Structure 1
Amino acid sequence: MFSKACEYGIRASIFIASKSAKGIRVGIKDVAKEIDSPEPFTAKIMQILTKNKIIHSAKGVGGGFEVSNEIQKSIKLIQIVDAIDGDRIYKGCGIGLKECSEEHPCPVHDDFKKIRGLLFEMLTQTTLEQLASGVKSGDFFLKTLNTNN
Structure 2
Amino acid sequence: MFSKTCEYGIKAIIYIATQSLKDSRVKISDIVENVGSPEAFTAKILGTLTKQDIVESYTGPYGGFEIDKNKMKTTKMSEIVFAIDGDSIYNGCGLGLSECSYDKPCPMHNKFVKIREELKKMLETTTIYDMAIGLKSGESILKR
TM-score by length of 2: 0.96
1:100 maps to 100
Residue 96 of structure 1: CA displacement?
Answer: 2.0
2:93 is equivalent to residue 85 of structure 1: no
Listed as ranges, the matches of 1:1-149 within 5 Å are 1-144=1-144
Which residue does 1:147 correspond to in 2?
A: none
Hey, what's the Cα distance between the residues in 2 that align with 1:42 and 1:102? Answer: 37
Question: Residue 77 of structure 2 aligns to which amino acid in structure 1?
Answer: L
In the alignment, the residues of structure 1 paired with residue 141 and residue 49 of structure 2 have an alpha-carbon distance, to the nearest angstrom, of: 21
SS in 2 for 1:18: helix
Deviation at 1:121, TM superposition (A): 0.6
Q: Which moved more, 1:8-17 or 1:38-47?
A: 38-47
CA drift of 1:137 comes to 1.2
Where in structure 1 are there 5+ consecutive unaligned residues? Answer: 145-149
Cα separation, 1, equivalents of 2:4 and 2:113: 23
Q: How far does residue 99 in structure 1 lie from its aligned partner after superposition?
A: 2.5
In structure 2, stretches of 5+ residues that fail to align are: none
Residue 42 of structure 2 aligns to a residue whose secondary structure is: helix
Letter in 2 for 1:131: M
Q: Provide the alpha-carbon RMSD of the alignment.
A: 0.9
What is the number of equivalent residue pairs in this alignment?
144
- Cα offset, 1:91, TM superposition: 1.5
Which segment is superposed worse, 91-100 or 2-11? 91-100
Mapped partners of 1:38, 1:108: distance in 2:
33
Letter in 2 for 1:127: T
CA distance in 2, matches of 1:101, 1:2: 20
Report the alpha carbon displacement of residue 94 of structure 1 after superposing the two structures with TM. Answer: 1.1
Deviates more, 1:86-95 or 1:115-124: 86-95
In structure 1, C-alpha distance between the alignment counterparts of 2:19 and 2:88, rounded to whole Å = 31
1:64-121 Cα distance to aligned partner (Å, 9 max, x none): 1000111101111111111111111112111222322222212111000111111111
Partner amino acid, structure 1, of 2:132: A
Give, in angstroms, the shift of residue 30 of structure 1.
Answer: 0.4
Deviation per CA, 1:17-47: give whole Å up to 9, x if none.
0000110000011011111111111111110
Question: Match for 2:61: what amino acid?
Answer: V
